[in-house]
């Protein structure tokens, strides 16, 4: 869910380069999109951010609501994180009907290789979402959300190891601050909270959420690597197909998990015991699934219109919103330790944002210098 429990695809869309660049064959042609800085481009970015943050926050809060009102099936809570993928079939069909020209390579990858890739990533996604479900069960929403902020730190680490992402003092500062933020919360168990009935459950919730954040970040880096080394193209259609097919595998795996664990036997009784009634039970699950897909659409929009790095940073922006909403709707306690952890997480987030700004400025300056040089010659 991660902070986005629903897997959000982060396919690296490189900044615009000169046509003569040796890497230009791996870039997306965005000739049909408004140019950067144009008001239409800004509207698309704003809408994508709104979709992402609203879907992420709503999905997390509805997941907590499900547990608070009598839901107890971890596999069901995991299922709804991916089961809404059919919503993406419409934009996929529209993308097929209006293809965007691409400068990607035309090398075709064997179908067996692609199927193995989707199945493998879908299974990893399933267990990642399951860990998020355990974390949300045993932790208050505010604590859960703050731990999820460590995703940015893990993402930086795995991007450095697998995707040749450079590390700078600012990104290292971001990693250290987010690590400190999570460390503060590991010792913060409040038995009075309804979601943390014991220190053991708190420890399980913390480890599952931290493990899920690490797994999710690894998954993002593997997906980016897959687009570069296996699929060898980065178009909107391919991004949507990756999301839909991996989510379909994850959904099937969750259905198997429900039956293999025996949880299916208790679902009827769970529905009957739900405090708000059977209809509310069904609608909670339906809208949770819809919320995570809205978040996914926003994430895909940010990937296609801006870049995967920007979408990762925006996911961390949800850190201060969810704890505040949790205080309002679930009366979570926002004590001094959580406030300090939140401030550290925000500081780390701002460090990462500033580094992204410096990188973008450097790229723009380089492009201007290249253009000036070509004009003078």
In this prediction the pTM is: 0.76
Decide: 88 and 293 in contact? Cβ < 8 Å. yes
Inform me whether the pLDDT recorded for 16 exceeds 50.
no
pLDDT of residue 21: 40
User: How far is Cα of residue 282 from the mean position of the Cα atoms in its chain?
Assistant: 25
pLDDT in tens, 304-335: 676 655 666 677 666 666 777 777 777 777 77
Residue 66 in this model has a pLDDT that exceeds 80? yes
Mean pLDDT of the chain: 76
Cβ(8)–Cβ(324) under 8 Å? no
Condensed to tens digits (0 to 9), the pLDDT of residues 170-203 reads 777 777 777 777 667 665 555 444 444 577 888 8
pLDDT in tens, 126-144: 999 999 999 999 988 878 8
Residue 363 — pLDDT band, cuts 50, 70, 90?
low
Q: What tokens does 186 get?
A: 């590991």
Report pLDDT for 121: 92
Domains in the chain: boundaries: 49-370
Q: Which residue has the higher pLDDT, 33 or 18?
A: 33
Query: What is the per-residue DSSP string for 115-156?
Result: HHHHHHHHHHHHHHHHHHHHHHHHS-HHHHHHHHTTHHHHHH
């Amino acid at each position: 869910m991660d902070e986005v429990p629903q897997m959000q695809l982060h396919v690296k869309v490189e900044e615009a380069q000169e046509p003569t660049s040796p890497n230009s064959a791996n870039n997306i042609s965005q000739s049909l999109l408004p140019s950067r800085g144009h008001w239409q481009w800004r509207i698309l970015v704003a809408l994508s951010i709104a979709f992402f943050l609203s879907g992420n926050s709503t999905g997390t809060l509805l997941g907590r609501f499900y547990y608070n009102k009598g839901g107890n099936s971890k596999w069901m809570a995991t299922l709804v994180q991916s089961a809404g993928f059919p919503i993406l079939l419409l934009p996929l069909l529209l993308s097929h009907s209006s293809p965007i020209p691409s400068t990607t390579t035309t090398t075709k990858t064997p179908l067996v290789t692609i199927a193995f890739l989707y199945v493998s990533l879908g299974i990893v996604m399933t267990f990642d979402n399951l860990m998020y479900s355990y974390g949300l069960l045993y932790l208050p929403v505010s604590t859960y959300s703050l731990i999820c902020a460590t995703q940015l730190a893990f993402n930086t680490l795995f991007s450095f190891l697998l995707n040749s992402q450079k590390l700078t003092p600012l990104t290292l500062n971001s990693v250290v601050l987010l690590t400190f933020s999570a460390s503060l919360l590991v010792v913060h168990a409040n038995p009075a909270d309804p979601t943390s009935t014991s220190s053991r459950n708190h420890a399980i919730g913390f480890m599952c959420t931290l493990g899920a954040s690490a797994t999710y970040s690894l998954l993002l880096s593997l997906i980016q690597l897959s687009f570069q080394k296996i699929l060898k193209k980065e178009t909107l259609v391919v991004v949507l197909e990756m999301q839909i097919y991996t989510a379909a595998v994850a959904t099937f795996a969750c259905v198997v998990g429900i039956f293999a664990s025996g949880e299916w036997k208790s679902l009827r009784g769970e529905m009957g015991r739900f405090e708000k009634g059977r209809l509310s039970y069904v609608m909670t699950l339906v809208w949770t699934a819809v919320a995570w897909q809205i978040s996914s659409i926003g994430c895909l929009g940010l990937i296609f219109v801006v870049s995967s790095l920007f979408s990762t940073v925006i996911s961390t922006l949800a850190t201060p919103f969810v704890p505040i909403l949790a205080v309002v709707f679930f009366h979570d306690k926002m004590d001094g330790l959580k406030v300090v952890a939140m401030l550290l997480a925000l500081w780390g987030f701002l460090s990462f944002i500033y580094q992204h700004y410096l990188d973008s400025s450097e790229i723009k300056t380089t492009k201007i210098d290249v253009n000036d040089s070509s004009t003078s010659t």
